[in-house]
Structure 1
Amino acid sequence: MKNKNGKLKLTFEKFTWTISNFSKLDSKKLYSEKKILAYPKGTDVGYLSIYLDAGVVNLPFGWSKFANFKFALINQANDKMTKIKETTKQFNATEIAWGFPKFIHLDELNDSSSGFMVNDTCIIEVQILVSKSEQENQVDQQVNKIDDNHDIDKPIKHTDIFLPKETFPTSFGELVDFQGLGKIEQAFVPLLEEVFSRHPSLIDCQQKRSGRFVEWAFTALGRVLHFLKTKKVKDMDGDACNNLQIFWEELKMFRFDLTWLEPHVQSALAMKTCIERAVRVKRTREDVTALEMETKRLKAKMIQAEVDLEIARRDFVKAKEGFEECDLDAELGYGEP
């Protein structure tokens, strides 16, 4: 659906879900008024699970909607420690829900020192950005008209429309003017300034683009830089790797020279395998430690058993001294008749 200016129509919604008496909840799953689905005990044992119910996008048959949604578990002690997870999903009439089965471990959630649970209450903030489209072939025709001045060799596809600030940025923060080139998210500005000082060709290659296209290009670059700057190795689970892969593929469409950045992206994407191996190594180490402790316990038990056996042998020898064996099965009798 387009607006009067011929642009793809977007809707944005932000709301807060407060869950009280968390420890007393008996329900396996909870729904907020805005169709957010949560499993207090998790769909994966030991984790809080959070999903966006597809009903929130209200789809008739044959239609689809792209939704970018972000869940934030508010840290009530330190907002800088708020746990945020974000993803993008194309919903259709057959979808049920999409989200994060392992949003946060219940031990961390319920730890009174973590700040996520205060007075048995946790707070979840949700941001949803939705773009509605018809069948994909119709979307392609619409989106190819977004910027008649672009000079990329291939036409813009429907997946490309989720690059700029007006669609799916990394966060929904304040936009600021960036060197007169367009409006960019404030969080991206220092990162872009840093890389442009080292790679001025990144700006030069966009000089002949339209203003909107430049904004999209720099937003896409800023999003990847922000991801690499803010994520830690331990954060690179499957969801994070998928998001980074999407960001990277979108960024490459803008024809930047990214030879300097690609090794860092590929290294980050490889962290999932590294983390999985680290987890296996940790578990194996724990198994070895447990078996070593069990072996020591059994050895100590064996030594004690040998000591007990030696004492029993000595007692046996003493008990036999001066003892004459008798037939225990013989009849006692009561004399001759």
Structure 2
Amino acid sequence: MENQQRSDETAETFTWTIKSFSKLRNKLYSEIFFIGGHPWRLFIFPKGNNVDYLSIYLDAGDSANLPYGWSRLAKFKLSLINKVNSKMTKTKETEHEFNARESDWGFTSFIPLNEIWDTRKGFIVDDTCIIEAEIFVTKREHENQVDQAAKSATVAPVSTQVNVVSDNPSSKETSSIALGELVDFRGLGKIEKAFIPLLEEVCLRYPSLIESQQKRSRKFFEWAFTALGRVLHFLKTKKVKDMNDVLFVHLQDLWEELETFKFDLTWLEPHVQSALGMKNYMEKAVEVKKMKENVAVREMEIKRLKAKMASAEIDLEIAKRDLVKAEEGFKELDLDRELGYKA
């Protein structure tokens, strides 16, 4: 078996310094880094992935574009560095065969949140923490053949995946948006056709977008501008009324992924934050709508009661007139006196 699966083995370390840790939202990606000839990235849930623990994962950096049959067996260690006492650094080790369907793996319960936030522990100093990934990649011979075939094949349509990550891949929930034909963008890479007009428009306004990625590889350029195109396409095609909880989470994931490519996005961030802020607006709009409906119901009830009262007043006047007529020529008697008789 070993003769049939001769391996190339690579072990390297990536260090991720995270500043302003207390200001982080639900999910954060590291920049993309290369080990074993393949892009990787880390991501964390600083407030826990539905648990009261810091959650840390390793992700195949281009999971949306992985070819059919691709896989990497990787042993890796994830460490939360203790900046006060290195002997107290928290490290967990595991291995996983990454592929197009199971593109991320890690630890949902890495360290309790109350422990990482304890200033005496030394994991967060000056609102900064450091995470290290030591990756030992095994690339089997048959995987080399898959990679070579993928390079020579026609580029296939890509898909966007939003993953709810857990240690067990069988429990992963994935929603996919299939994209269409890929076309050349300025001779620098192939991008989803629907994104091209949007990218052309913003690149004319902000030339630094192209300049910031020109020194990157062709593949990296494609990843970066595909990520940018996804955000632009989302903002262009979605309406305020469409924004439900699923789309809010999806936009948040798209934006966090785009931020890893180090574009100057100061021009785009206000629009994204405005769209994300629509969640509060929609919740308020629902509340206001319910209150308006409640007021309308009360007004209708008042109108009904007023109409009933008007009808009752008319009935009262009629009853009074009938009483007056009935009393004409009528003399009341003492009903308690004896009928008697006279002798």
* TM-score, normalising length: structure 2: 0.50
Match of 1:310 among 302, 305, 317: 317
Quick check: 1:165–1:215 contact (8 Å CA) kept in 2? no
Q: What secondary structure is seen at the aligned counterpart in 1 of 2:102?
A: strand
Structure 2 CA distance for partners of 1:173 and 1:295, relative to 1, 3 Å: same
* CA distance 1:223–1:145, shift in 2 (3 Å): farther
Aligned match of 2:290 in 283, 286, 291? 283
Q: Secondary structure of 2:332's match?
A: coil
**Partner AA of 1:261 in structure 2:** L
Residue 142 of structure 1 deviates from its aligned partner by 5.2
Partner residue, 2:261? 254
CA positional deviation for 1:313: 1.3
CA distance in 1 between partners of 2:304 and 2:106 (Å): 67
1:244-300 CA-to-partner distances (Å, cap 9, x unmatched) read 111111111111111110111111111122222222222222222232222222112
Q: 1:257 to 1:143 in 2, by over 3 A?
A: farther
Instruction: Please name the residue that 1:226 is paired with.
Output: 233
Partner in structure 2 of residue 185 of structure 1: 192
2:106 corresponds in structure 1 to 135
Rounded Cα–Cα distance in structure 2 between residues aligned with 1:144 and 1:211: 23
Gaps of 5+ in 2: 1-6, 9-35, 40-56, 65-99, 111-131, 140-156, 162-175
Residue 269 in structure 1 maps to residue 240 in structure 2: no
Residue of structure 2 equivalent to 1:54: none
Farther off after superposition, 299-308 or 195-204: 299-308
Residue 143 to residue 131, structure 1, CA distance change in 2 (3 Å): farther
State the alpha-carbon separation in 1 of the partners of residues 235 and 276 from structure 2: 10
Inter-partner Cα distance in structure 2 for 1:208 and 1:65: 24
**Alignment match, 2:250:** 243
Alignment equivalent of 1:201, drawn from 202, 208, 212: 208
TM-score (norm. length: structure 1): 0.51
> Is the 1:65–1:133 contact (alpha carbons within 8 Å) kept by the matching residues of 2?
yes
The corresponding residue for 2:308 is 301
Amino acid at match of 1:224: V
Deviations 1:177-204 (A, max 9, x none): 2222222111111111111111110010
**How many pairs are equivalent?**
204
In structure 2, what residue type is equivalent to 1:273?
A: N
Structure 1 contact 220–250 (Cα < 8 Å) conserved: yes
Alignment of 1:105-144 (within 5 A): 130-136=101-107, 141=134
C-alpha deviation, 1:222, in angstroms: 0.5
Superposed CA offset, 1:58-96 (max 9, x none): xxxxx9999x99xxxxxxxxxxxxxxxxxxxxxxxxxxx
CA distance in 2, matches of 1:219, 1:64: 21
Alignment partners' CA distance in 1, 2:190 and 2:207: 19
Following superposition, the deviation at residue 328 of structure 1 comes to 5.4
8 Å CA contact retained: 1:178, 1:184: yes
Distance 1:233 1:283 in 2: 18
Aligned residue identity for 1:223: R
* Misfit runs of 4+, over 4 Å: 3-8, 63-66, 139-146, 164-167, 326-333
Q: Which amino acid aligns with 2:238?
A: K
Q: Does the C-alpha gap of structure 1 residues 144 and 306 become closer, same or farther in structure 2, counting only changes over 3 Å?
A: farther
Give the share of equivalent positions with the same residue, in percent.
59
Counterpart amino acid of 2:247?
A
CA gap of 1:306–1:325, structure 2 versus 1, over 3 A, is same
Report SS of the residue matched to 2:101: strand
Highest CA radius of gyration, 1 or 2?
Answer: 2
User: Structure 1's 180 and 291: CA in aligned 2 closer, same or farther, altered over 3 A?
Assistant: same
| Residue 131 (structure 1) shift | 2.4
CA distance in 1, matches of 2:197, 2:136: 31
Q: CA 1:238–1:64 in 2, change beyond 3 Å: closer, same or farther?
A: same
The answer (yes or no) to whether the contact 1:165–1:219 under 8 Å persists in 2 is no
